[in-house]
Amino acid sequence: MLRTATKRTLSSWKELLSGDFGYLASFPKHLHDKLRACKNNIESYQFSAIQMKDVPIDVATEVFTRLNVGGEPLSVFEIMVAKTYEPTKKFDLAEKFAELMTDLQPVNYDTLSSATILQTVSVLIRKDCRKREILNLPKLDVIKTWPKAFEAIESTVDYFRDYYRIPVSRLLPYPALIIPFAYFFSKHPNKPTGDQQRFLQDFFWRVSLGGRYSQSLETRVGQDIAKIDCILKGKVPDYDWAVDTSAEFIKNNGYFSTTRSFVKAILCVLAHEEPKSFMDNSIVRLDNAFLKQANSKNYHHFFPKSWLEKKGVEWWKINHVANITLVDDFLNKRVIRAQSPKTYMAGFISKNPKIDKCMATHLIKLNQQFGVMSDDYDKFFEARCRAISKELANRIIPQKVDREARARAAEDTVVEEEEFLAA
């Protein structure tokens, strides 16, 4: 028995313009008139055009932008999709990007932008990802490099998930960290070990804690490729920006916002511990869909906000990363709610015989030092900042620039104290 083929309902512009009668017949009959009208509209449309020959792509782009007044501006990625399209090699950059996102979706890294992926390709070709350099990339170089970039990005994602235990892309302090690490894996396909592993870890946390990519991203990524080259040679790079992992710095700079790289770096530290449920020690599953906003169900204020507000605690100290734990929706919204830690933890202690091990995965202890069972938020705040500080310090290789920054900070503190006493 022959089955009737399913009729088509979607068409690409290319197929519509080049299709013959047989192509039209592949659609349901009631769509034929609409398809003819659409094709005629395109073929008869008067496009503004200027013929240019042997001009740089950035000049051609500027001309297009001026002609396109009132139209939708094109992104660099869209321009490169048009520039690199090659039907004979079956290369469509937009389709390749979609394939990559489909590949990364099961491992929760599908929020990476097309700009980040294109910058990665550019770095692999020219060690540079500035807009002008991207627009001048030769078509064949992009096509040739794409498979290597695809593989290097996959290796980077695996490394971030396995070694740093960052389970979802929304926790990355900067999505652009994908770029230098993909460059590393394009040159070194195997997982790094020994000094290379230590130097890469130092680089990751320096970028994250130092706010490295918060401005001048393209320029700084390009500069950092030289540091990756240094790591590839087994040498620790020299850095010109300092990081401060002290508990005091965390206290003063830990206001909780999911847009801040410093805070997200600390969240990555918490995720690395693979936090367990207070109730039964099951693994807390983090989800990209819930991690974008600060009121996500995965973010729990260990000392509930409303409880602290009633105690008169200042808002900056309430909504601080030191007061954040990663939990599941059930605990956050249905069990804990606005109860004090002493109250709700008593229930978990009676039900979970491994509660101490569980709390260790949140960098929290139930001893007197942390003040949890006495509802002492000041004690908890200080102790949690120290615990986070210790974990961050373990990830950094101290350098001269760090010591100099600490010395300057100490001098400023002395001057401020002297000025205060003199006043």
Report residue 4's pLDDT band, with 50, 70 and 90 as the boundaries: very low
Give the Å distances, CA to CA, from 154 to 80, 103, 177, 237. Answer: 22, 9, 13, 25
Do residues 125 and 145 make contact, with C-beta atoms less than 8 angstroms apart?
A: yes
Radius of gyration of the chain (CA): 27
Q: Which of these, 250, 374, 229, 223, lies nearest to 303 by C-alpha position?
A: 374
In the chain, count H helices and then E strands.
21, 2
Q: Distance (Å, rounded) from C-alpha 228 to C-alpha 204? A: 11
The answer to whether 156 and 185 are in contact (CB under 8 A) is yes
* Residue 63 amino acid letter: V
Encode pLDDT of 270-289 as tens digits. 999 999 999 889 988 887 66
- How far, in Å, CA of 200 to CA of 193, rounded? 10
The pTM of the full predicted model, rounded to 2 decimals, is 0.84
Structural contact between residues 117 and 106, judged by C-beta atoms closer than 8 angstroms = no
How many Å apart are CA 75 and CA 310, to the nearest integer?
49
Mean pLDDT, rounded, for 256-283: 93
Sign of CA dihedral 322, 328, 332, 335: negative
- Please compute the mean of the pLDDT values over residues 358-381 and round it to a whole number: 96
Distance, in Å, from the CA atom of 93 to the CA atom of 85, rounded to the nearest integer, reads 7
399: left (phi over 0), alpha (psi -120 to 50) or beta: beta
DSSP SS3 for 283: strand
For residue 111, list its beta bridge partners: none
3-state class of 311 per DSSP?
Answer: coil
- DSSP helix/strand/coil, 300: strand
Give the start-to-end residue ranges of the domains of the chain.
Answer: 13-44, 74-232, 247-393
Calculate mean pLDDT across residues 149-163: 97
Least reliable range by pLDDT among 74-83, 185-194, 266-275, 349-358: 74-83
The two beta strands, 299-301 and 324-326, are antiparallel
What pLDDT shows up at residue 408?
74
Give dist(CA 218, CA 133) in Å, integer.
Answer: 10
Report how far residue 116's alpha carbon sits from residue 348's, in angstroms, rounded to the nearest whole number.
43
Lowest-confidence range among 5-14, 44-53, 145-154, 403-412? 5-14
Residue pair 108/288 in contact by the 8 Å Cβ criterion: yes
Q: Residue 29 — very low, low, confident or very high, per pLDDT cuts 50/70/90? A: confident
pLDDT over threshold 50, residue 126: yes
